Amino acid sequence: MGKKRAFISFDYDHDVDLKNLLVGQARNPDSPFEIADWSLKSAQADWEKRCRERIKRCDVVIVIVGAHMATATGVKKEVAMARQESIPMFGLRGRPDRPCRAPPGFPKVYRWTWGNLKKLIAGAR
């Protein structure tokens, strides 16, 4: 089986550094996933349509749960799109030194470790 294609949902204004770390992990030789790095700033015209199409082309959505994620409207919309398209999704706690809260009703948020990430990509949730 080939690598799974992952869409990263993250707070564009506060967590680009975390997104870049995840992209770096995807480049590890033993990585079970590749990043479909299709980040869009939500202010772009037809953002929602383009984002949904990108999510539909992925096997999994990884949500980086940072300190401000609960108020990030773009992330909320991406999570809703993933649910509507029945794309599996999980959250990674982005900042262990700060409170990181996902919005109510969000799937479980996991510690961001290489071991956890590999298991989650494989479907352990």
Q: Are 38 and 12 in contact (CB under 8 A)?
A: no
Is CATH 3.40.50.450 correct for 4-121? yes
Phi, psi of 75 (to 5 degrees): -65, -45
Going from N- to C-terminal start, the domains of the chain cover: 4-121
C-alpha gyration radius of the chain: 13
Q: Is the dihedral of CA 67, 72, 76, 81 positive or negative?
A: negative
For the chain, 125 residues long, give each residue's pLDDT as a single digit of tens. Answer: 689 999 999 998 999 999 999 999 999 999 999 997 666 655 667 888 989 999 999 999 999 999 998 888 889 999 999 999 999 999 999 998 988 888 777 878 999 999 999 999 999 98
Instruction: Provide the whole-model pTM.
Output: 0.91
